[in-house]
């Protein structure tokens, strides 16, 4: 990771571009793109892209999936099921006809690959959920296992709760509050993984960051700062 963005979660969009997360709204996501980097300088630009231009797996990795609007989540699931990918591709610049044709062929191959698979995944307790084989396929690839292992070993959220931030809680952060509270009373969900990186960068302790937390209203740090009126 480039040092300049060491406190920014790294992800890849559907075009394979490496980007660094900044913030997100209802359906748009702001991020940094590195255009050129060497030992002497780094050239980058701030971009605004549709959240739907990023896969569910990547959004879970940067820990914002659970914060997204339900309508955006539904759109992403449909895209990954191959129902709206063509419309999204039209929004993304630089996509050639050959790339679109290859994407169509890839979707057909995936559809044929999972044709014999069950429509729903069933937990040992009897609970069922509709299977998203596009997501499961990506997850299996990341874990280095066969997708059949994920299907056979499926556990529902009641038997194996995993929702929240999409990851197993780090025991290192046991006992720390779920939210950070500003002196004005505003609260925000704590991301201790990012806070730990920030604390190391600033050469302070994690507890000092927690105790000194200030919300964006009291201490604006995102986006460009507004000029003070004289």
Split at pLDDT 50, 70, 90, the class of 82 is: confident
Q: How far apart are CA 27 and CA 48, in angstroms?
A: 10
Q: How far apart are CA 37 and CA 16, in angstroms?
A: 18
Residue 173 has pLDDT above 50, yes or no: yes
Report, as an integer, the average pLDDT of 219-226: 59
Residue with tokens 């939210």: 179
How much is the pLDDT for 30?
93
How much is the pLDDT for 166?
46
Q: What percent of the chain has a predicted confidence (pLDDT) above 90?
A: 16
How much is the pLDDT for 5?
66
Least confident range of 2-16, 18-32, 45-59: 2-16
How much is the pLDDT for 88?
61
CA distances (Å), origin 53, targets 94, 186, 213? 14, 31, 32
Around Cβ 92, how many Cβ atoms within 10 Å?
A: 15
């Amino acid at each position: 990771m480039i040092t300049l963005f060491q406190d920014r979660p790294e992800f890849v969009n559907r075009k394979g571009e490496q980007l660094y997360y900044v913030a997100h709204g209802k359906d748009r996501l702001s991020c940094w793109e590195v255009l050129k980097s060497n030992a002497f300088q780094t050239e980058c630009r701030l971009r605004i892209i549709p959240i739907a231009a990023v896969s569910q797996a990547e959004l879970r990795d940067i820990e914002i999936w659970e914060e997204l609007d339900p309508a955006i989540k539904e759109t992403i699931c449909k895209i990954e099921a191959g129902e709206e990918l063509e419309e999204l591709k039209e929004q993304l610049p630089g996509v050639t006809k050959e790339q679109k044709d290859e994407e169509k062929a890839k979707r057909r191959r995936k559809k044929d690959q999972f044709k014999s698979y069950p429509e729903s995944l069933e937990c040992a307790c009897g609970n069922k959920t509709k299977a998203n084989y596009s997501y499961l396929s990506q997850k299996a690839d990341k874990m280095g296992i066969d997708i059949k292992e994920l299907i056979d070993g499926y556990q529902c959220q009641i038997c194996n709760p995993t929702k929240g931030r999409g990851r197993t809680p780090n025991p290192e952060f046991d006992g720390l509050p779920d939210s950070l509270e500003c002196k004005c009373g505003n609260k925000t969900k704590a991301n201790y993984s990012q806070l730990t990186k920030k604390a190391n960068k600033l050469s302070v302790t994690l507890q000092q960051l927690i105790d000194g937390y200030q919300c964006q209203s009291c201490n604006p740090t995102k986006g460009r700062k507004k000029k003070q009126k004289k």
